[in-house]
């Protein structure tokens, strides 16, 4: 059994719209104290949206953290800590892609923590089928291009390092491994 690490103190350093950043004082098993960074996130949901012909809708958008555009499955943060991830996934699918699925047409695939070394962000990933075209209604700071790809094209993009987003890779590979796509 591993020795216990104890949190002595947690200090809020920054509060933003979807996260809080803390500086934790930790007591290590050898008795020393160290500072750890901790990012508290309210959670998120993502969707692998499958069209009738089997192609998957993907979104391309700018990501400030890596100063580049990424190809991803649609996703977004929960509006509140209490929001159900299925509701969040349903909302984000329509906002980002301009397609919707009835909640009965959305199946849970996998839940994952994105960055366990410093953040508690948990994303639940769903599969959506029987999509209906509506209209995209993006947030004011979103500029998103939507395209459809085959599973083979997306798998090739993952292998080539053209898809680098963890939730996207996890969602696509889970859906493929489970035989959904």
18 falls in which pLDDT band (50, 70, 90)? Answer: confident
* Those residues with Cβ within 8 angstroms of residue 131's Cβ, 6 or more apart along the chain or in another chain: 49, 50, 51, 52, 57, 99, 100, 101, 105
Q: How far is CA 30 from CA 5, 7, 12, 78, in A?
A: 9, 14, 26, 39
Determine the 3-state secondary structure of 120 from DSSP: coil
pLDDT 10s digits, 48-102 = 999 999 999 999 999 999 999 999 999 999 999 899 999 999 999 999 999 999 9
Over range 21-26, report the average pLDDT: 98
pLDDT score of 56: 98
Contact 85, 176 (CB under 8 A): no
CA 161 to mean position of chain CA atoms: 18
| CA dist., res. 78 & res. 27, Å (int) | 33
pLDDT score of 181: 87
Mean pLDDT, the chain, rounded, equals 95
pLDDT 10s digits, 105-138 = 999 999 999 999 999 999 999 999 999 999 988 7
Determine the 3-state secondary structure of 119 from DSSP: strand
Phi, psi dihedrals of residue 160, rounded to the nearest 5°:
-85, -5
């Amino acid at each position: 059994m591993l020795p216990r690490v104890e949190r002595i103190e947690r200090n809020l350093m920054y509060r933003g719209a979807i996260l809080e950043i803390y500086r934790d004082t930790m007591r290590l098993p050898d008795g020393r104290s160290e500072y750890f960074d901790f990012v508290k996130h309210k959670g998120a949901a993502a969707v692998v949206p499958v069209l009738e012909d089997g192609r998957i809708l993907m979104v391309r958008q700018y990501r400030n953290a890596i100063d580049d555009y990424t190809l991803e499955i649609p996703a977004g943060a929960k509006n509140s800590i209490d929001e159900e991830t299925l509701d969040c996934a349903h909302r984000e699918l329509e906002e980002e892609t301009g397609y919707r699925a009835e909640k009965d047409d959305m199946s849970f695939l996998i839940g994952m923590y994105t960055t366990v070394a410093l953040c508690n962000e948990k994303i639940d990933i769903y599969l959506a089928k029987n999509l209906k075209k509506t209209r995209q209604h993006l947030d004011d700071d979103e500029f998103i291009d939507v395209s459809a790809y085959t599973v083979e094209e997306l798998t090739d993009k993952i292998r080539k390092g053209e898809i680098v987003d963890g939730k996207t890779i996890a969602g696509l590979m889970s859906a493929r491994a489970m035989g959904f796509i």
